[in-house]
């Protein structure tokens, strides 16, 4: 079957035609998916905060950094899947494409099973190590243990979504997310309000909705055309494809995991201010998540577009892709970040009616919301680098410029002046340092690729 055969016209050829228009068409469904995901997550937090109390709200919020720490390595492997699928799709290498898809889905299922064990066993010890207050700890442990039961479905959806994004399809994952999210909200209301299940009800609703989204993405891949069609009897590990996925994705996952370590340390510092401060921090983080997910759509766009054009050896398009992504992410970051700050009191009031919770949330938004665009610029540069096959270098740059710097900040600047604003300033300062390093790394990598292609007689 010909590789370029359309599957209901959802695929996108990123290697020809107008770049800016295609970037916008590709990014908007991704942006909507991210915002919808956060809306559904916000529904979790709003329901539990309004109907189960501030302790339950703090319990759900206190687990986010630890959850990310445990799952980011595996989510990073989906980045490797995205890069390879896009590269083989752009280069019209159908057999390599088919082997990559089936290898990735086996890795997703296996990784999910491993995460169930890790999440259930480590929830209590890790939350205690983070200094989670005793009044919150039992609820936090319960939430995490139920949440991790859904990890196989979570990873299958993420890896399957990475495959579809790589071939230009960002619409169908949006539809699947919308359906599963509505189910999640309905179940939240039923479990928490009607059955009074508290954080257990929120976690159970999340697991059920993740299973629905995983089923829909698998069904979609099984009905697709071309090399990325999923055929159950072909599910197997192809070693060289697994190595390639790990080579690109593992550094991304380790970077995310170590980022989460620094965030766990920051969360531990927030925990020292008490459950009200934790609740305000949780609400603010959720609002910021809308900004981050909107900007992250441009990171994923840079990743997929660069990967396809790298596979097709389109050097000049790769440069223009990065320029457009940086321009768009700056606009999105400014508009949404400053908008979150401007409407901060009203938005935080949705999560909690406690004035102290709202005040703590505003303290965070004033510093992070107004500077969040820097994080978006930083991530776009990383997307371009990974799309060209460079994954280890941006990992080390990010770990040094952001993670190590934040830890240093905690033990020096914050230790000398233990206030929450001082704690939060570690974010924009570390983003700025890391962005400068990524720009330099990207320019060096781009120049190296150009020399290699010219030596091979490839001109663009």
Report pLDDT digits (tens) over 65-77. 667 666 777 888 8
What confidence score (pLDDT) does residue 102 get?
94
Q: Specify whether the CB–CB gap between 245 and 111 falls below 8 A.
A: no
Q: Where is pLDDT greater, at 108 or 273?
A: 108
**Closest C-alpha among 95, 111, 102 to residue 81:** 102
Give 52's pLDDT tier (boundaries 50, 70, 90). Answer: low
Separation between Cα atoms, residue 103 and residue 245, nearest integer Å: 9
Give 105's pLDDT tier (boundaries 50, 70, 90). Answer: very high
Separation between Cα atoms, residue 123 and residue 327, nearest integer Å: 41
168 φ/ψ sector (left φ>0, alpha ψ -120 to 50, else beta): left
Separation in Å, CA 417 to CA 48, 86, 144, 263, 427:
33, 48, 32, 19, 16
Q: Of 125-129, 175-179, 208-212, which gets the smallest average pLDDT?
A: 125-129
Q: Where is pLDDT greater, at 268 or 102?
A: 102
3-state helix, strand, coil in the chain (%, to 5): 85, 0, 15
Average pLDDT for the chain: 84
Instruction: Provide, rounded to the nearest whole percent, the portion of the chain with pLDDT above 70.
Output: 89
Counting DSSP H helices and E strands in the chain, the numbers are: 19, 0
Region 361-390: mean pLDDT is 90
pTM of the model: 0.79
Give 215's pLDDT tier (boundaries 50, 70, 90). Answer: very high
Region 15-32: mean pLDDT is 89
What confidence score (pLDDT) does residue 6 get?
47
């Amino acid at each position: 079957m010909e590789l370029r055969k359309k599957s209901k016209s959802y695929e996108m050829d990123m290697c020809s035609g107008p770049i800016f228009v295609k970037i916008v068409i590709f990014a908007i469904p991704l942006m909507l998916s991210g915002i919808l995901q956060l809306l559904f997550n916000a529904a979790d937090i709003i329901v539990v905060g309004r109907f189960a109390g501030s302790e339950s709200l703090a319990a759900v919020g206190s687990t986010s950094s630890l959850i990310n720490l445990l799952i980011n390595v595996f989510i990073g492997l989906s980045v490797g899947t995205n890069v390879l699928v896009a590269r083989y799709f752009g280069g019209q290498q159908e057999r390599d494409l088919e082997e990559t898809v089936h290898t990735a889905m086996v890795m997703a299922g296996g990784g999910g099973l491993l995460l169930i064990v890790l999440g259930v066993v480590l929830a209590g010890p890790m939350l205690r190590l983070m200094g989670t207050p005793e009044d919150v700890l039992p609820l936090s442990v319960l939430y995490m243990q139920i949440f991790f039961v859904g990890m196989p479905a979570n990873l299958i959806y993420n890896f399957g979504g990475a495959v579809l994004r790589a071939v230009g399809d960002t619409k169908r994952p949006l539809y699947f997310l919308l359906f599963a999210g509505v189910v999640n909200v309905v179940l939240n209301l039923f479990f928490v309000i009607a059955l009074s299940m508290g954080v257990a009800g929120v976690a159970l609703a999340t697991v059920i909705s993740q299973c629905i989204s995983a089923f829909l993405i698998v069904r979609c891949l099984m009905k697709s055309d071309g090399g990325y069609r999923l055929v159950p009897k072909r599910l197997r590990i192809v070693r060289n494809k697994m190595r390639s996925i790990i080579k690109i994705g593992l550094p991304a996952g380790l970077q995310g995991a170590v980022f989460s370590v620094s965030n766990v340390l920051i969360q531990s510092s927030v925990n020292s201010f008490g459950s009200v401060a934790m609740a305000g921090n949780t609400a603010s983080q959720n609002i910021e998540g809308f900004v981050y997910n909107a900007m992250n759509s441009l990171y994923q766009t840079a990743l997929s577009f660069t990967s396809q054009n790298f596979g097709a050896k389109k050097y000049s398009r790769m440069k223009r892709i990065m320029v457009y992504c940086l321009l768009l992410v700056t606009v999105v970051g400014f508009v949404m970040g400053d908008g979150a700050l401007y409407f901060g009191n009203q938005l935080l009031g949705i999560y909690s009616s406690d004035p102290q919770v709202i005040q703590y949330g505003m303290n965070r938004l004033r510093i992070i919301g107004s500077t969040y665009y820097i994080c978006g610029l930083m991530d776009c540069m990383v997307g371009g680098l990974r799309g060209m096959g460079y994954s280890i270098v941006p990992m080390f740059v990010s770990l040094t410029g952001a993670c190590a710097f934040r830890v240093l900040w905690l033990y020096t600047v914050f230790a000398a002046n233990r206030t929450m604003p001082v704690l939060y300033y570690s974010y924009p300062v570390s983003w700025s340092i890391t962005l400068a390093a990524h720009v330099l790394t990207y320019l060096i990598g781009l120049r190296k690729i150009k020399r290699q292609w010219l030596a091979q007689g490839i001109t663009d």
